[in-house]
Amino acid sequence: MTQANAPATPRSTLVVTAHAGDFVWRAGGAIALAAARGEKVTVACLTFGERGESAKAWREGRQLAEIKALRREEAERAAAALGAEVRFFDAGDYPLVATAELTDQLVAVYRETQPDVVLTHPTEDPYNGDHPAANRMALEARILAQAIGYPGEGDIIGAPPVFFFEPHQPEMSGFKPEVLLDITEVWDTKRKAMECLGAQQHLWAYYTDLAVRRGVQLKRNAGPNLGLAHTTMAEAYMRPFPQIAKELA
């Protein structure tokens, strides 16, 4: 096969998430859309959310190792439903603490996956310190993965655009929607992935309602686009870095 006829390398999305459920609630639609386009999606799941986001399992009398296994199995099923690969770091939550070893591991994932897009938590969340901690690690590892002098295997990366997905309490976290992503065509896939997370079943309705509200806002801001579904489902994102464009649209 000649170089001209060689298949293009599929685009790559990297999701850096603090807990096992975060990538589903906040970015499941974006993940499913990318996977449906044939892109590679890798989820770097720093913790299982075993201490801070597994209240139902603790009330049922389960032990720590059992809860970790439960959350891992749920996240694996959810990732499979979305079409993503999930990797677990088991870094421990509540609190999630940055270490040199964890940073090295994240840099290695960046260099291996060579992401075209990075999704992660926003910088603020007064209700859950693990989320800003994951943000800081995701951004630091992105910078270090670009540095040719930083030790480690793999080729350096470019500067992939970063999108912050919506926190659970956006008004209290300084989150202002800057990008509204139409996930209508993959909503059923995201809902199926949400239903894999039995440990947080109380959030199913919340994130369904949120997708409807963001969909209404998307339609309100879509201009003359008449091709939108009557019920549009959407996710909201922020951009910490400038958008690069050759025309305004």
Q: Residue 121's domain spans which residues?
A: 10-238
Q: Is the peptide bond before 132 cis (omega within 30 degrees of 0)?
A: no
In a domain, 231, yes or no: yes
pTM, two decimal places: 0.94
**For residue 40, is it within any domain?**
yes
How confident is the prediction for the chain on average, in pLDDT?
94
Residue 16 in any domain: the answer is yes
Crossing angle (nearest 10°) for helices 64-82 and 187-194: 170
- The 8-class DSSP code of residue 231 comes to S
User: Six-digit token pair at 43?
Assistant: 């989820």
Q: Does residue 3 lie within any of the structural domains?
A: no
- On whether residue 5 sits in a domain, the answer given is no
Tell me: pLDDT of 4 over 90. no
In a domain, 247, yes or no: no
Question: Under a CB-based contact definition with an 8 Å cutoff, are residues 215 and 232 in contact?
Answer: yes
Tens digits of residue pLDDT in 67-110:
999 999 999 999 999 999 999 999 999 999 999 999 999 999 99
CATH number for the domain including 199?
A: 3.40.50.10320
**Interval 149-182: pLDDT, tens:** 999 889 999 999 999 999 999 999 999 999 999 9
pLDDT tens digit sequence for 205-240: 999 999 999 999 999 998 766 667 678 999 999 999
Is 4 among the domain residues? no
**What percent of the chain is predicted at pLDDT more than 70?**
95
177 phi and psi, to 5 degrees? -60, 125
Residue 134 tokens read as: 């994951």
> How many domains does the chain divide into?
1
What distances in angstroms separate CA 119 from CA 26, 71, 96, 175, 202, one per listed residue? 10, 21, 18, 15, 24
Residue 113 lies in a domain: yes
Q: What angle do CA 122, 173, 222 make, to 5 degrees?
A: 75
pLDDT of residue 1: 46
